[in-house]
Structure 1
Amino acid sequence: MERYDIIRGPLVTEKTTLQKELNNQVTFKVDKRANRVEIKDAVEKNFNTKVKQVRTVQVKGKAKQRGRIIGKRKDWKKAIITLMPGQRIDFFEGV
């Protein structure tokens, strides 16, 4: 797996914004097959930062219903990255 394929995109919610400001943590949606070491290497190389810790969560897809049709969203993996003190990753610079 290439390092660009591992990270799918940032998760930007109220909770992740607070984590970023208070704990210097950023949250990404990542490939389900990636492990913590691969995620750490991908973040360090793609964003040119130092990573202190990586925590991962397997998120189960929700069951959704539209009329009589019942479906399910895909399962996905979330990675919470704790950066070293003094390191930052800015997604929306100047906004």
Structure 2
Amino acid sequence: MNGIKYGVFTEKSVWLWLENNQYTSNVESGLTRTEIKHWVELFFGVKVIAMNSYRVKGKGRRIRPILGHTTHYKRMIITLQPGYSIPPLSYIR
């Protein structure tokens, strides 16, 4: 489970979890959707219906004269079949 960094708990992600049985988490940017689907099904013992992913661009940062940016990362929204669930605190680090 090194690919899944941590679960995302924002207002939107909690609403998706309660209403649509969807879970949001940040993952390593080099992983594919099929790899993440396989890991989630194997580790949590659930059935995944669909996965949506998007790349979140890092924000610009300035430390006096040096311009830089934070790292980019990938976010996955995983939809589970009805009747399956992931305990929300099981994938928080």
Question: TM-score, with normalisation over the residues of structure 2?
Answer: 0.87
1:40 has 2:37 as partner: yes
Per the alignment, residue 85 of structure 1 pairs with 82
Per the alignment, residue 18 of structure 2 pairs with 21
Separation of aligned partners in 1, 2:12 and 2:2: 25
The aligned length equals 90
Stretches of 4+ moved more than 3 A in 1? 65-70
For structure 2, the 5+ residue unaligned runs are none
Which one of the candidate residues 21, 27, 31 is aligned to 1:30?
Answer: 27
1:5 Cα offset (Å): 1.9
Question: TM-score, with normalisation over the residues of structure 1?
Answer: 0.85
For structure 1, the 5+ residue unaligned runs are none
CA-based RMSD of the aligned residues comes to 1.5
1:11 has 2:2 as partner: no
Separation of aligned partners in 2, 1:30 and 1:6: 6
